[in-house]
Amino acid sequence: MRIPIHREGWRFIVVAALVNAALFVLAGRWGLVLLPITLWVVAFFRDPERQPPQGANLILSPADGRLLTPARAVPPVELGLGPVERLRLSIFMNVFNVHVNRVPCDGTVTRLAYRPGKFFNAAFDKASEHNERMSVRLAVKSPGGAEQDLVFVQIAGLIARRIYCELKEGQSACRGDRFGIIRFGSRLDVYLPDGARLLAKDGQNVRAGETALAEFPN
């Protein structure tokens, strides 16, 4: 069975495979020691197809992982949304989750902001404030025609050292579309607009592009 791989992963897979092959040549069966690591590298960059659920008002999970306890927090200041707190949903991705990120809903990218930072464990709340991050502000039109802002943020973790985001300002984005990846353990935050109805539960395992986190207000 063919395993779909994200293009950002091929160079890591090739290096891991070559090192493993060299160990087999030089040390025989000792190459088996590195085989699980090589297979893990392949699995880390897997990129399965996803089918978004029906429902125009849904806000989908941008990442695979575990939903942490929702909290009210101010969105990243670099997005220019002011000091008003919003409900923040945080998804923690461990090193065994699929790490390809997907757009949570249809909209237009109005602002992108990268900020360097620290590398605290992504499961900690302070990671949202202090860690390296890429923030996205998405303008979304509700079924009634009103425009709302949805924010989602890629956050580096304890061993993550590379955030990749292929979105551009002014771009129209479709829910469920791939937009980036974070290498080796990380976190995605979603800041909901006022009035959004929470659908997912604390501690729930969610899937990018498939699990509905919340619903826009009508």
Active site positions, annotated: 186
Nearest to 180 by CA among 162, 194, 195: 162
Structure tokens at 72: 């009210």
Structure tokens at 96: 């065994």
Contact 76, 115 (CB under 8 A): yes
Q: Which residues of 58-91 are buried (b: 16+ CB within 10 A; e: fewer)?
A: bbbbbbbbbbbebeebebbeebebeeeebbbbbb
Nearest to 107 by CA among 170, 53, 46, 174: 174
